[in-house]
């Protein structure tokens, strides 16, 4: 389980720039990223209620999703879908709410929920929005575009850093969109 890539961008755009490293700041998010802040920074959510807490300080996507999308003909790479941290070897979508992820030696992110994909994905590549949505055996919508979290402990995160997973106490609550 490791960090494959890290990304950030100061402006609100669908994609983020990959970097050699990012700094997570407790209670805020990724230093220099447009979505960092104690209160919500997502443009549409700010219009609805700018005082709501920011449960989307850090966006993580599993590189296995990129593999799946490339097999379908999409040209995706770390940061393209707006994630800050691209992982490998962690079943991000299967984690319960409240899971803690240690990224590298110091940084700790608490998982708050699923990323709810938006139509901006189609500005990256036509059909990408639908490609990250699926249905389970019962017909329920499955959002595959990663997870969101808040920063509990700050620190530097770089490609190659190990990821440690600490599950919350039982009973586990499945991830919901945030």
Segment 140-160, tens digit of pLDDT: 999 999 999 999 999 999 999
Residue 174 within a domain? no
Looking at residue 46, what is its pLDDT? 63
Looking at residue 14, what is its pLDDT? 87
Please write the tens of the pLDDT for every residue from 101-125. Answer: 999 999 999 999 999 888 889 889 9
**Model's pTM, two decimal places?**
0.94
Residue 178 within a domain? no
Residue 130 within a domain? yes
Residue 175 within a domain? no
Asked if 65 and 85 count as a contact pair (C-beta separation under 8 A), the reply is no
Residue 172 within a domain? no
DSSP states of 54-102: -S-SEEEEEHHHHHHHHHTT----TTTTS-SEEEES--GGGPPTT-EEE
**Kind and range of the H or E element at 169?**
none
Phi (first) and psi of residue 37, to 5 degrees: 155, 155
Structurally, the chain folds into a number of domains equal to 1
CATH number at 153 reads 2.40.33.20
**Kind and range of the H or E element at 149?**
strand 147-153
Looking at residue 132, what is its pLDDT? 95
Looking at residue 106, what is its pLDDT? 97
Residue 177 within a domain? no
Please write the tens of the pLDDT for every residue from 21-79. Answer: 999 999 999 999 999 999 888 767 667 777 889 999 999 999 999 999 999 999 999 99
Residue 96 within a domain? yes
Asked if 147 and 115 count as a contact pair (C-beta separation under 8 A), the reply is yes
Residue 95 within a domain? yes
Domain that holds residue 110: 2-166
Looking at residue 176, what is its pLDDT? 95
């Amino acid at each position: 389980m490791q960090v494959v890539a890290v990304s950030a961008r100061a402006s609100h755009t669908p994609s983020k720039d990959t970097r050699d490293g990012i700094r997570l700041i407790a209670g805020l998010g990724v230093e220099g990223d447009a979505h960092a802040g104690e209160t919500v920074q997502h443009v549409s959510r700010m219009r609805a209620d700018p005082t709501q807490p920011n449960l989307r300080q850090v966006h993580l996507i599993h590189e296995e999703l990129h593999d799946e999308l490339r097999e379908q003909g999409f040209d995706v790479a770390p940061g393209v879908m707006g994630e800050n941290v691209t992982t490998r070897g962690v079943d991000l979508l299967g984690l319960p709410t409240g899971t803690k992820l240690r990224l590298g030696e110091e940084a700790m992110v608490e998982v708050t929920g699923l990323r709810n994909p938006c139509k901006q994905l189609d500005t990256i590549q036509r059909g990408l929005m639908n490609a990250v949505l699926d249905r389970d055996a019962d017909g329920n919508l499955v959002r595959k575009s990663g997870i969101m979290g808040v920063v509990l402990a700050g620190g530097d995160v770089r490609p190659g850093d190990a990821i440690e997973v600490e599950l919350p106490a039982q009973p586990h609550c499945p991830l919901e969109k945030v």
